[in-house]
Amino acid sequence: MGLTSLDKIIALQRNPANTRNLCILAHVDHGKTTLADCLVASNGIISSRLAGKLRYLDSREDEQIRGITMKSSAISLHYSNGDQEYLLNLIDSPGHVDFSSEVSTAVRLCDGAIVVVDAVEGVCPQTQAVLRQAWLENIKPVLVINKIDRLIMELKLTSQEAYTHLQKILEQVNAVTGSLFTSKVLEERAEKEKEEEEKEKEKDGDQVYDWSTGLEEADDSQLYFSPDQGNVVFASAIDGWGFSIQQFAQIYSQRMGVRAEVLLKTLWGDFYLNAKAKKIMKGAQAKGKKQLFVQLVLDNIWSLYDAVVTRRDKEKVEKVVTSLGVKVMARDSRHSDPKVLLSAICSQWLPVSQAVLSMVCEKLPSPLDMAAEKVEKLMSVGARRFDLLPEQTQELKKALQKRSLTRLYLNEPVCLPEGCSASDCVPEVPYLSCCSMESLYLLMGRELEELEQVPAGNVLGIRGLEECVLKSATLSTSPACPPFTPLNFEATPIVRVAIEPKHPSEMPKLVRGMRLLNQADPCAEVLIQETGEHVLVTAGEVHLQRCLDDLRDRFAKIEISASKPIIPFRETVVRPPKVDMVNEDLGKQQKVAIIHQVKEEVTQGRSSDTLHVDPSGLVTVTIPNRMATVSVRAIPLPEEVTHLLERSTELIRSLEQVNMSLREGKTVDVSLRTMEAIAGLKAQLENLLQGRKWRNAVERIWAFGPRRYGPNFLLNSVEGYQRLSVWHCLGRGDKAGEAGAAVIRDFDNSIVSGFQLATLSGPMCEEPLMGVCFSVERWDVQSSAVPQHQDSLEENSISHEALANSRVEGSTKTSSEVEGTVAGQSQARRRPEAASADCYRPVSGQLIAAMKEACRRAFQAQPQRLMAAMYTCEIMATAEVLGRVYGVLGKREGRVLHEEMKEGTDMFIIKAVLPVAESFGFADEIRKRTSGLASPQLVFSHWEVISSDPHWVPTTEEEYLHFGEKADSANQALKYMNAVRRRKGLYVEEKIVEHAEKQRTLSKNK
Ligand SMILES: Nc1nc2c(ncn2[C@@H]2O[C@H](COP(=O)(O)OP(=O)(O)OP(=O)(O)O)[C@@H](O)[C@H]2O)c(=O)[nH]1
Ligand SMILES: [Mg+2]
């Protein structure tokens, strides 16, 4: 086929009804780029002989070397379907989990997607992930079952077995779609019910209860993949063939004289041909007959492979060639590799590009058909409700639907047009700026074509946005257009490295380069730590490598060196263990030992008159000038609560925002759904925090931390302090009634800040805390104790009487009142210039420090543990290499969750968890040890408590016996902790030389 000219593409761009924006999605290595090659070859951009080998859209060097796609790339193709000409803006996406953010971007740009599934491997974790992403973005998928040749050549299935196998794969894919659909319908149903309930309440009329789930009426006929619907293609991209059953229906309707529609309905399914009666009958399986699909479709392909590849039967091949009416060049038929001949025949007989592209044109929507639901979803950011958006913005919805969006593709670090200014924007948008575009581009795989203009409804590249765009942006001519909802990312950035230039003088270049990388990569994060280090956070090892290469070759263009990956940990406390390290029952011993330890520290460290630890773990800290005391106890949170809090981070953040706005007296337009979700979270917490210890706890939550939304909380157990709860936004209606009882005491903020600081970095190795509740049991701000240290008095010059007024128990004094008294009294004192503000500040500052100290000590008074970040991995391996996979997993502290055999193959699927700290080089090691037969994909899953105690020393007699006095057997937690401490430059308690004398004599004797 001849090369499509640029003019033709430009002309086609003007007809959005015949434009299709689509992406190819799949699990890693299922053949996306190979399929894209075939489609690209149909436009004459690459030769069809090279299609599948070139992987044209993998244009980066590292992509070619590794053989995986790392960046999405886009290309515009032309296709004539019948008498219509179509423009296809195709995006090939990566399948490796590390790059799933690229998939999110691609999905956002498109209206439809080709989901590719490997016929042998079937539905894999990423297949599920991409189906979910497509669903969440409301884009329509079609299915390509690829690599059918592997069923013939590798698994050596018969055509009948292959049919059953394909049926199973379709079932698996449809099961995923089905569950997405069901959950959506049920959700909608619940929402509707709620609305109706409210209406009912108003009306109070006759009640008719409707108990149907809503699933019965919901229309799902267009939802599932089925060959007779025309949304499934069977293909082998590498051999260049593919077909939908429409094609075969047409071929056979002429040959057999059956109507094409009848064949279309019966070619897939349990139908067989009754040759005698010349009828198509149902019930092939029961009667032991061959299904139509097997007889008319698969058998032909099987016999072709048999003749060409297996038996190399020249005569038969010639017969087939003439009967199919294809032309084969002499050099192809004489080629030593039979696959060349095979693909020459197949790609003419059943060209995959034709099958796939006509399905795309017929089944995927044009940009004009964008669903109203999708536009609303895009425009209502976060907790906002669409119907609360300004009118001007709502009007844009119609415009968007009618004219459709022009999508940008920010692949390269390449606005608002002129004539508008940020000041006349309607909604409150935090980051709004004006910019002008320099040039527009058509994306053609490896090349860019500069264009004068691009009509709406197309995918294009823009240059000149690097100053205004960070990762993603919404460009609009109208300032009323709200920023679109952020992308759904599946991957969490977790691997961090510190980066520095080889030559220190090149620092500015590195900083600029990192800024560009941050702009261009949707998932990578770049930050400067408090230590001054430049840190890059990526989703995984492969992503890290790509970011470093990008930085070196494209963005900074300097030599850089990267540190070893910095592995994050969390610190937590647990309930005292019941047995010791040799599984002996402990009784109260351990508890006593811990308290003993804390006491020791106290006497060694700070003077104990400002710090008191009681045997139950309650820590009381008095601030240096004796004005205030806090008593704090650390309590481990139940595991489910920690998980819940971690999952609900976004929600807690919204809760915090709502509370903040309420405190500032602003009104908030939060969607009903968010409020419901907050109430749901509260109810779940109440449900999980049962028992005497947690009585009324949820109501008493004071703050979450660190950063106000972390997985720890501060509990108000101060007697007589009825603080406003964090949930008060839920009961906004009866605020007036509450206000009398609930107040916020002075210096409340200091307590919260102290708690935030303590949870941000714990005492073990200054890593954030997780799953800890700090309960404040006493809190006095008073004047009773006369300061003994003169210096502290001088430093602070505080009027005790003044503070006495702020002694609390329900005090509602405003700070100005307090300050007034202070000012009046301090004039008579030694330092009259000490202004009112002066005496306020030291207390709040000291209180923050005291609170932080109290939390840290309280934390230390409990059994402490480290928490490690865990990856989950699914490894597919054949039986021969299974043992080696287990070996590598075991060596790296991995834990196998389950193992099952994939039906119809000799593959095992192993699901395991593995600490992130042990994961570096894991994929490589597995690949090497199994000679490339198994390759795992690691996805961050959760945090897990490491069971060993890093501070453990033998205490009981049995432990001494078992571990010896030194107890220096490997303590994983201690190793991790010391590694972090060493990296951070903290004190590491480690004996480098033990029994020094003995060692010296030994070396002398040598
Ligand atoms: N047997 C067979 N192999 C195929 C077929 N299609 C692709 N492959 C092979 O599968 C491997 C992966 O193909 P790619 O096209 O790079 O897969 P991908 O989905 O783009 O992979 P990522 O982009 O890394 O996710 C290559 O070695 C291809 O040669 C096919 O139809 N049959
Ligand atoms: Mg690829």
Per-residue model confidence as pLDDT tens digits over 679-701: 888 898 888 888 888 888 888 88
Confidence (pLDDT) at 424: 41
Confidence (pLDDT) at 244: 93
CA of 118 to the centre of ligand 1 (A): 9
Would you say the CB of residue 950 lies under 6 angstroms from ligand 1? Answer: no
Q: Kindly state the average pLDDT of the residues 528-554.
A: 86
Confidence (pLDDT) at 312: 86
**Residues with Cβ within 8 Å of residue 775, at least 6 apart in sequence:** 632, 633, 634, 635, 714, 715, 717
CA of 442 to the centre of ligand 2 (A): 21
Is residue 805 very low, low, confident or very high in pLDDT (cuts 50, 70, 90)?
Answer: very low
Is residue 1003 very low, low, confident or very high in pLDDT (cuts 50, 70, 90)?
Answer: low
Q: Kindly state the average pLDDT of the residues 863-876.
A: 88
Would you say the CB of residue 55 lies under 6 angstroms from ligand 1? Answer: yes
For tokens 């337009």, what's the residue?
669
Would you say the CB of residue 233 lies under 6 angstroms from ligand 1? Answer: no
CA of 538 to the centre of ligand 2 (A): 20
CB–CB of 769/646 below 8 Å? no
3 state SS of 195: helix
Confidence (pLDDT) at 493: 82
CA of 905 to the centre of ligand 1 (A): 19
Ligand nearest to the CA of 57: 2
Which of residues 414 and 278 earns the better pLDDT score?
278
One-letter amino acid at 160 equals: Q
Is residue 785 very low, low, confident or very high in pLDDT (cuts 50, 70, 90)?
Answer: very low
Confidence (pLDDT) at 117: 95
This prediction has a pTM of 0.76
Q: Please, which residues have CB less than 5 A from ligand 2, an ion?
A: 32-33, 69
Would you say the CB of residue 69 lies under 6 angstroms from ligand 1? Answer: yes
Confidence (pLDDT) at 736: 41
Cα–Cα distance for residue pair 444/328, rounded to 1 Å: 31
Find which of 348-362, 471-485, 838-852 is predicted with most confidence, using mean pLDDT: 348-362
- The values of phi and psi at residue 442, to 5°, are -95, 135
Q: What share of the chain is helix, strand, coil (3-state, %, to 5)?
A: 45, 20, 40
Confidence (pLDDT) at 391: 64
pLDDT in tens, 134-174: 988 888 999 999 999 999 998 899 999 999 999 999 999 99
Q: Kindly state the average pLDDT of the residues 730-751.
A: 61
Tell me what the pLDDT averaged over the chain comes to: 78
Ligand nearest to the CA of 29: 1
CB–CB of 869/943 below 8 Å? yes
Would you say the CB of residue 460 lies under 6 angstroms from ligand 1? Answer: no
Q: Is the pLDDT of residue 314 over 80?
A: yes
Is residue 472 very low, low, confident or very high in pLDDT (cuts 50, 70, 90)?
Answer: confident
Would you say the CB of residue 633 lies under 6 angstroms from ligand 1? Answer: no
Confidence (pLDDT) at 966: 63
Confidence (pLDDT) at 214: 57
Which of residues 461 and 559 earns the better pLDDT score?
559
Confidence (pLDDT) at 837: 41
Q: Is the pLDDT of residue 766 over 60?
A: yes
**In 10 A of CB 430, how many CB atoms?**
5
Low-confidence winner among 273-282, 404-413, 756-765 (lowest mean pLDDT): 404-413
Cα–Cα distance for residue pair 263/255, rounded to 1 Å: 12
CA of 238 to the centre of ligand 1 (A): 8
Which atom of ligand 1 lies at the shortest distance from residue 52's CA? 29
Which atom of ligand 1 lies at the shortest distance from residue 53's CA? 29
Structure tokens at 907: 């593959």
Q: Which amino acid residue places its CA nearest to atom 29 of ligand 1?
A: 238
> Residues of the chain with pLDDT > 90: what percent?
17
pLDDT in tens, 170-205: 999 999 998 888 887 877 777 777 777 766 666 655
Confidence (pLDDT) at 393: 62
Confidence (pLDDT) at 834: 39
Would you say the CB of residue 31 lies under 6 angstroms from ligand 1? Answer: yes
CA of 151 to the centre of ligand 1 (A): 15
Ligand nearest to the CA of 34: 1
Would you say the CB of residue 937 lies under 6 angstroms from ligand 1? Answer: no
Would you say the CB of residue 147 lies under 6 angstroms from ligand 1? Answer: yes
CA of 69 to the centre of ligand 2 (A): 4
Which of residues 798 and 997 earns the better pLDDT score?
997
Confidence (pLDDT) at 382: 53
User: Hey, which of 27, 34, 56 would you mutate to test ligand 1's pocket, going by the most ligand atoms within 8 Å of its Cβ?
Assistant: 34
**In 10 A of CB 398, how many CB atoms?**
11
Which atom of ligand 1 lies at the shortest distance from residue 69's CA? 23
Q: Is the pLDDT of residue 354 over 90?
A: yes
DSSP classification of residue 725: P
Cα–Cα distance for residue pair 359/232, rounded to 1 Å: 8
Q: Kindly state the average pLDDT of the residues 115-132.
A: 90
CA of 122 to the centre of ligand 1 (A): 14
CA of 26 to the centre of ligand 2 (A): 9
Confidence (pLDDT) at 828: 35
CA of 283 to the centre of ligand 2 (A): 41
CA of 230 to the centre of ligand 2 (A): 25
CA of 68 to the centre of ligand 2 (A): 5
Q: Kindly state the average pLDDT of the residues 21-41.
A: 92
Nearest Cα neighbor of 467 from 493, 440, 437, 501 is: 437
Would you say the CB of residue 21 lies under 6 angstroms from ligand 1? Answer: no
Is residue 594 very low, low, confident or very high in pLDDT (cuts 50, 70, 90)?
Answer: low
442 burial level (CB within 10 Å; 0-12, 13-18, 19+): buried
Q: Is the pLDDT of residue 415 over 50?
A: no
Cα–Cα distance for residue pair 851/855, rounded to 1 Å: 6
For tokens 């056979």, what's the residue?
252
As beta bridge partners, residue 236 has 241
As beta bridge partners, residue 873 has 912, 938
Low-confidence winner among 346-350, 361-365, 428-432, 492-496 (lowest mean pLDDT): 428-432
Would you say the CB of residue 498 lies under 6 angstroms from ligand 1? Answer: no
Ligand nearest to the CA of 59: 2
Would you say the CB of residue 20 lies under 6 angstroms from ligand 1? Answer: no
Which atom of ligand 1 lies at the shortest distance from residue 237's CA? 31
Which atom of ligand 1 lies at the shortest distance from residue 34's CA? 15
Q: Which amino acid residue places its CA nearest to atom 30 of ligand 1?
A: 147
User: Hey, which of 238, 239, 933 would you mutate to test ligand 1's pocket, going by the most ligand atoms within 8 Å of its Cβ?
Assistant: 238
Q: Which amino acid residue places its CA nearest to atom 13 of ligand 1?
A: 31
Is residue 302 very low, low, confident or very high in pLDDT (cuts 50, 70, 90)?
Answer: very high
CA of 722 to the centre of ligand 2 (A): 59
Confidence (pLDDT) at 273: 86
Confidence (pLDDT) at 791: 40
Nearest Cα neighbor of 755 from 712, 696, 700 is: 712
Confidence (pLDDT) at 588: 55
Q: DSSP labels for 488-555?
A: -------EEEEEEESSGGGHHHHHHHHHHHHHH-SS-EEEE-TTS-EEEEESSHHHHHHHHHHIIIII
pLDDT in tens, 229-285: 899 999 999 999 999 999 889 888 888 888 888 888 889 988 888 878 778 888 888
256 burial level (CB within 10 Å; 0-12, 13-18, 19+): middle
As beta bridge partners, residue 743 has 723
Low-confidence winner among 45-59, 531-545, 734-748, 819-833 (lowest mean pLDDT): 819-833
Is residue 991 very low, low, confident or very high in pLDDT (cuts 50, 70, 90)?
Answer: low
CB–CB of 759/855 below 8 Å? yes
CA of 49 to the centre of ligand 1 (A): 16
Find which of 4-8, 106-110, 733-737 is predicted with most confidence, using mean pLDDT: 106-110
Confidence (pLDDT) at 210: 55
Would you say the CB of residue 458 lies under 6 angstroms from ligand 1? Answer: no
CB–CB of 665/604 below 8 Å? no
Structure tokens at 759: 């949870």
- The values of phi and psi at residue 863, to 5°, are -65, 120
Confidence (pLDDT) at 410: 41
As beta bridge partners, residue 773 has 635, 713
Confidence (pLDDT) at 882: 84
480 burial level (CB within 10 Å; 0-12, 13-18, 19+): buried
CA of 34 to the centre of ligand 1 (A): 6
Would you say the CB of residue 146 lies under 6 angstroms from ligand 1? Answer: yes
Q: Is the pLDDT of residue 525 over 80?
A: yes
Confidence (pLDDT) at 6: 85
Is residue 32 very low, low, confident or very high in pLDDT (cuts 50, 70, 90)?
Answer: very high
Long-range pairs, 958-965, Cβ under 8 A, ≥24: 958/580, 958/582, 958/584, 959/580, 959/581, 959/582, 961/582, 962/581, 962/582, 963/581
Would you say the CB of residue 29 lies under 6 angstroms from ligand 1? Answer: yes
CA of 30 to the centre of ligand 1 (A): 5
Cα–Cα distance for residue pair 1005/1000, rounded to 1 Å: 9
Would you say the CB of residue 33 lies under 6 angstroms from ligand 1? Answer: yes
Q: Which amino acid residue places its CA nearest to atom 8 of ligand 1?
A: 31
**Residues with Cβ within 8 Å of residue 866, at least 6 apart in sequence:** 569, 570, 571, 572, 764, 765, 767, 945, 946, 950, 973, 976, 977
Confidence (pLDDT) at 490: 72
**Residues with Cβ within 8 Å of residue 777, at least 6 apart in sequence:** 618, 631, 632, 633, 717, 718
Cα–Cα distance for residue pair 103/105, rounded to 1 Å: 5
CB–CB of 326/349 below 8 Å? yes
Would you say the CB of residue 27 lies under 6 angstroms from ligand 1? Answer: no
CA of 309 to the centre of ligand 2 (A): 27
Within a 13 Å sphere around the CA of 819, how many CA atoms are in the beta-carbon half? Answer: 11
Which atom of ligand 1 lies at the shortest distance from residue 93's CA? 23
